[in-house]
Structure 1
Amino acid sequence: MKLSNSFIQSVAILVMLAELPEKSYLKSSEISQRMGVSHTYLQKIAKKLNNAGIIQSEASKTGGYSLNKSVRDITFYDVFKAVENSDSFLNNVKTDVIHTMFLSDKLVDKYGNLTLDILKEAENSYLSVLKEHSIEEIVPKNSKGELLIIDWPLFLKNN
């Protein structure tokens, strides 16, 4: 389990969508332009976010992507589940080497299993922290503490 560029780019997409004025959409071409990533690649990420119910897609001339729920209700874990391979830390790890670390099967059972338990606990802690934090925490706010609103299409058109 490790974070990929897709995870960070997904977070960036969500922040941009959170900053849109109400009932506004951002086209995938606009997002990819701003982020400096391939349009095709961005669409793949957006599809995963859409399939997870985090964002929605409006197919029309004025459509694009928008959030499907409040940023306070979208956790980093939700994004992680949507775009990352959710295999365990220990998936595809050969644990049979544990048998070589100890001189007896009794020690393997005791300390080998303890080693695996520690690694599973670390993984659970990692996922727990992702669940505790929402995307809202990283969306810029104005002087009143409200989410900063940016008309991204207009901004991108003028820059």
Structure 2
Amino acid sequence: MQISTRFTLAVHSLLYIVRFSGDCRVTSKRVAASTGANPVVIRRLFCQLKDAGIIMVEPGVGGASVVKNYDEVTLLDVFRAVESTESNLFAFHDSPNSDCPIGGAIHKILDGELEAAQRALENRLRQTTLQDLLGRLPS
């Protein structure tokens, strides 16, 4: 399993926005230079973060800014804003054979494990805020 890079790019972008928004207009081009990603990818992330109510983006080259208090934005908020998981993190194959002893029981024996793993991830991400991460940045 691998979660896409959107999540870590979004966290990187948010930290960049917070750190540099007082010094300059934080544009997708500037964030792209820091992340090594294409500015188009950063603009898409900005749209997702804006739709989630985490940032505001000024039209043109106005730049981005975080609109919530940094101690209110959790990693779970960022994850949910940019990852395209519906409700379940783990996708299940479409048609297990119900006539097979494994296929007929796979949901019963595996669903609870997957739900517990997802809850554990969400609980951990819920514990860390942007403020927490800002405190870990070098001065």
Report deviation, 1:137. 1.4
Report deviation, 1:38. 0.9
Q: Which residue of 1 aligns with 2:66?
A: 67
| 1:139 equivalent in alignment to 2:134 | yes
Report deviation, 1:94. 4.2
Q: Are the counterparts in 2 of residues 25 and 65 from structure 1 also a CA contact under 8 Å?
A: yes
Paired residues in the alignment total 137
Residue identity in the other structure for 1:38: N
Q: Tell me how far apart the structure 2 counterparts of residues 112 and 91 of structure 1 sit (CA, whole Å).
A: 12
1:11-62: CA deviations, max 9, x gaps? 001111121355963112111122221111111111111111111012255x
| 1:10 equivalent in alignment to 2:10 | yes
Runs of 5+ unmatched residues, structure 1: 149-159
- Calculate the TM-score normalised by the size of structure 2: 0.80
Q: Which residue of 2 aligns with 1:93?
A: 93
Say which SS state the counterpart of residue 7 (structure 1) adopts. Answer: helix
Q: Tell me how far apart the structure 2 counterparts of residues 116 and 41 of structure 1 sit (CA, whole Å).
A: 34
Residue identity in the other structure for 1:67: V
Which has the larger Rg? 1
Q: Are the counterparts in 1 of residues 21 and 64 from structure 2 also a CA contact under 8 Å?
A: no
Q: Tell me how far apart the structure 2 counterparts of residues 57 and 14 of structure 1 sit (CA, whole Å).
A: 12
Say which SS state the counterpart of residue 101 (structure 2) adopts. Answer: helix
Q: Which residue of 2 aligns with 1:157?
A: none
User: Which is worse superposed, 83-92 or 46-55?
Assistant: 83-92
Q: Tell me how far apart the structure 1 counterparts of residues 95 and 49 of structure 2 sit (CA, whole Å).
A: 34
User: Which is worse superposed, 63-72 or 12-21?
Assistant: 12-21
Report deviation, 1:91. 2.9
Residue identity in the other structure for 1:135: L
- Calculate the TM-score normalised by the size of structure 1: 0.71
Q: Are the counterparts in 2 of residues 24 and 66 from structure 1 also a CA contact under 8 Å?
A: no
Larger RCO (alpha carbons 8 Å, 6+ apart): 1
Q: Which residue of 2 aligns with 1:37?
A: 37
RMSD: 2.9
Q: Tell me how far apart the structure 1 counterparts of residues 51 and 121 of structure 2 sit (CA, whole Å).
A: 24
Say which SS state the counterpart of residue 96 (structure 1) adopts. Answer: coil
Report the identity percentage: 20
Q: Are the counterparts in 2 of residues 72 and 135 from structure 1 also a CA contact under 8 Å?
A: yes
